[in-house]
Chains A and B, each alone.
Chain A
Amino acid sequence: MTDPILSVRNLNVTYLSSRATLNAVRNVSFDIGREKVAIVGESGSGKSTVGRAVVRLLTPSAKITADRMDFEGKNLLSLSERKMQDVRGRRISMILQDPKYSLNPVVTVGEQVTEAYRVHNKVPHKEAKERALAQLASVQIRDPAHVYDLYPHEVSGGMGQRIMIAMMLIPEPSLIIADEPTSALDVTVKLQVLAILDDLVRDRGIGLMFISHDLNLVQSFCDRVLIMYAGQVVEELRGDELGDAKHDYTKGLLASLPRIGDRRGRLSVLDRKDSWSMPVEKRP
């Protein structure tokens, strides 16, 4: 791995409520260099919470602690909210799991991309609009001029996701956190969007945190894979070594995948072990 862009040690996130505390993330440690790092794991294992904790976009009821959370030499946990906003706006982009939720419902999607462009580039509206249209085309939207004028509820799931990606590419960040960026896309568009991210890593040297549950994809797309269970990283592997996983949980996930041409009466499901939730060792 190259010099890390992001270095996290023993990240803990606790959701506090009047009735319960939930340790959603426990002692998670990882580095991301100029590479594609996947976080996989079952629903509720804490993947999105890790991604959001890095940019400090968690609900107020969440408490974040870490021995270290360094990004480009800055400790993210000690930055003021203002400085953090700057990091979020310019250095770290986040593609959220639920695209439509993060678009403004009463503004056309095209105007939102144009506005995002103008936040980062002081140019007249007309020029920004042209750039926005080009940006929409670059994420494989076939008829950008038509899509530009649609409202969020009028675009299909896959289009909404690509619009979010188009917006996120505008500030030229050095780290992209992509939370299930392709689960709403058809397989050919998915590969095309991944190729855009792939190029950013290769040509611009950005780091990519790729949160996904598509094990098949992660295996062929990512350099490294972190496997999360119950808030902890239980195994870390090279992408192309995922098939040789040692942990029973990782093996169980792989076994539960349906595969084309290999029809079984029932898919195998996880037989969860208490030992999988035992505290892992902290990293120095």
Chain B
Amino acid sequence: MSMIDVRKLSLDLGEGVRRRQILNDISLSVEAGDSFGLVGESGSGKSTVLRCIAGLYRHWTGEISIDGQTFASADRMGWCRKVQMVFQDPYGSLHPKHKIDTILSEPLRIHGFKDIDRRVSQILTQVGLGPRFRYRFPHQLSGGQRQRVAIARALILEPKILLLDEPTSALDVSIQAEILNLFSDLREQLDLTYLLVSHDLAVIDHMCSNLAVMRSGSVVESLSREQMVHGGATERYTNTLLRASEKYDRELVDELAAAS
């Protein structure tokens, strides 16, 4: 059974003349325990898809269900515990005036957990920060350290699904490796299902078994990891993404300029 099922998801955003369609008939489904990749153009709507699944937008049309339950029929607290999101931008998502301790214990308190102290110190260790970061403020951390706090906060409620929006783009490669390994371990230990947005196709390749490629609010191609790696992508845009991932390629830039 699929853990995440999205059918014909469409969404408009903005007011009056600025209103426009952001998502156009998005469908995807992710098996329990799997990782699914979402890649594509900046501004194509990847984060918006995650926000819809997380319940942050509600005026979309189509259908979203997780764990066999549709969004319409689910209770909000339960949905929120099952689905957690790690945002692209760790500044926006961490309260600047709260210590890390508060940031991590607040969700536990809201959801009525008892052993808050133990859980907070355990999660800090799990994301590789350690207890000495517990009483710091976000601005006292480097960009990468801050993103780990965001990951810790997402994990603290032991969700079933993690929606990961560029979770490692602010991290250096060695910490990225640690975090990706951590994601792999946690997926196994806790039976997690991931929906992972990344611009780094190597990260998608490493983590995911299937992926969808988005452009201008639509899915242009859905394919398996094997297809992506072994020349099985059929859409031109997917192949351009693959080529652009290799290196700084001035020829490709000139081709792109000529094409537009």
Q: Which residue in chain B gives the minimum CB-CB distance to A183?
A: B169
**In the complex, are the beta carbons of A187 and B244 less than 8 A apart?**
yes
**In the complex, are the beta carbons of A184 and B173 less than 8 A apart?**
no
A43 to B178, CA, bound (A): 12
Interface string of B72-86 (1 = CB under 8 A from A): 000000000000000
* Chain A positions 181-210 with a Cβ under 8 Å from a chain B Cβ: 183-192, 194-195, 198
Q: Does B223 make an interface contact (CB < 8 A)?
A: no
A260 to B143, CA, bound (A): 26
Q: Which residues of B contact A156 (CB under 8 A)?
A: 42-43, 47
**In the complex, are the beta carbons of B240 and A188 less than 8 A apart?**
yes
Chain A interface category by residue count = 35 or more
Q: Which residues of A contact B159 (CB under 8 A)?
A: none
Q: Does A267 make an interface contact (CB < 8 A)?
A: yes
Q: How far is the CB of A25 from chain B (nearest CB, A)?
A: 13
Q: Does A171 make an interface contact (CB < 8 A)?
A: no
Identify which of B42, B240, B241, B253 contacts A157 (C-beta below 8 A): B42
Identify which of B172, B229, B252 contacts A43 (C-beta below 8 A): B172
Q: Does B206 make an interface contact (CB < 8 A)?
A: yes
Q: Which residue in chain B gives the minimum CB-CB distance to A213?
A: B172
Q: Which of A2-10, A64-72, A109-117, A251-259 lies on the face that meets chain B? A: A251-259
Q: How far is the CB of B260 from chain A (nearest CB, A)?
A: 9
Q: Which residues of A contact B175 (CB under 8 A)?
A: 42-43
Q: Number of A-B pairs whose CB atoms are under 8 Å? A: 157
**In the complex, are the beta carbons of A191 and B43 less than 8 A apart?**
no
Q: Which residues of A contact B42 (CB under 8 A)?
A: 156-159, 162, 184-186, 189
Q: Which residue in chain A gives the minimum CB-CB distance to B201?
A: A260
Q: Which residue in chain A gives the minimum CB-CB distance to B18?
A: A149
**In the complex, are the beta carbons of B253 and A195 less than 8 A apart?**
yes
Q: Does B101 make an interface contact (CB < 8 A)?
A: no
Q: Which residue in chain A gives the minimum CB-CB distance to B175?
A: A43
Q: Does B67 make an interface contact (CB < 8 A)?
A: no
Q: Does B224 make an interface contact (CB < 8 A)?
A: no
**In the complex, are the beta carbons of A258 and B202 less than 8 A apart?**
yes
Q: Does A126 make an interface contact (CB < 8 A)?
A: no
Q: Does A268 make an interface contact (CB < 8 A)?
A: yes
**In the complex, are the beta carbons of A188 and B256 less than 8 A apart?**
yes
Q: Does B106 make an interface contact (CB < 8 A)?
A: no
* Chain A positions 121-163 with a Cβ under 8 Å from a chain B Cβ: 142, 146, 149-150, 154-159, 162
Q: Which residues of A contact B14 (CB under 8 A)?
A: 154
Q: Which residue in chain B gives the minimum CB-CB distance to A266?
A: B181
Q: How far is the CB of A106 from chain B (nearest CB, A)?
A: 15
Identify which of A190, A219, A263 contacts B205 (C-beta below 8 A): A263
Q: Which of B143, B247, B257 has the most CB of A within 10 A?
A: B143
A269 with B248: in contact, given A154-B14, A186-B41 (CB under 8 Å)?
no
Identify which of A158, A180, A195, A259 contacts B43 (C-beta below 8 A): A158
**In the complex, are the beta carbons of B245 and A260 less than 8 A apart?**
yes
Q: Does A230 make an interface contact (CB < 8 A)?
A: no
**In the complex, are the beta carbons of B229 and A185 less than 8 A apart?**
no
**In the complex, are the beta carbons of A184 and B247 less than 8 A apart?**
no
Q: Which residues of B contact A45 (CB under 8 A)?
A: 172
**In the complex, are the beta carbons of A260 and B229 less than 8 A apart?**
yes
A43 with B166: in contact, given A98-B143, A146-B18, A156-B47 (CB under 8 Å)?
no
**In the complex, are the beta carbons of B144 and A100 less than 8 A apart?**
no
A48 to B40, CA, bound (A): 28
Q: Does B189 make an interface contact (CB < 8 A)?
A: no
Identify which of B142, B173, B205 contacts A261 (C-beta below 8 A): B205
Q: Which residues of B contact A97 (CB under 8 A)?
A: 143, 170
Q: How far is the CB of B222 from chain A (nearest CB, A)?
A: 18
Interface string of A74-117 (1 = CB under 8 A from B): 00000000000000000000000110110000000000000000
Q: Does B116 make an interface contact (CB < 8 A)?
A: no
A220 with B247: in contact, given A44-B142, A156-B42 (CB under 8 Å)?
yes
Q: Which residues of A contact B177 (CB under 8 A)?
A: 256-258, 267-269
* Chain B positions 24-80 with a Cβ under 8 Å from a chain A Cβ: 39-44, 47
**In the complex, are the beta carbons of A98 and B142 less than 8 A apart?**
no
Q: Which residues of B contact A191 (CB under 8 A)?
A: 244, 248-249, 252-253, 256
Q: How far is the CB of A183 from chain B (nearest CB, A)?
A: 5
**In the complex, are the beta carbons of A43 and B145 less than 8 A apart?**
yes
Binding site for A on B (CB under 8 A): 13-14, 18, 20, 39-44, 47, 88-89, 91-92, 142-145, 166, 169-178, 180-181, 184, 199-203, 205-206, 228-230, 240-242, 244-245, 247-250, 252-253, 256-257
Closest 7 CB pairs of A and B: A158-B42, A43-B144, A267-B177, A220-B247, A256-B177, A258-B206, A187-B244
Supply 5 A–B pairs (Cβ within 8 Å), ascending by A: A42-B174, A44-B142, A187-B241, A191-B252, A260-B245
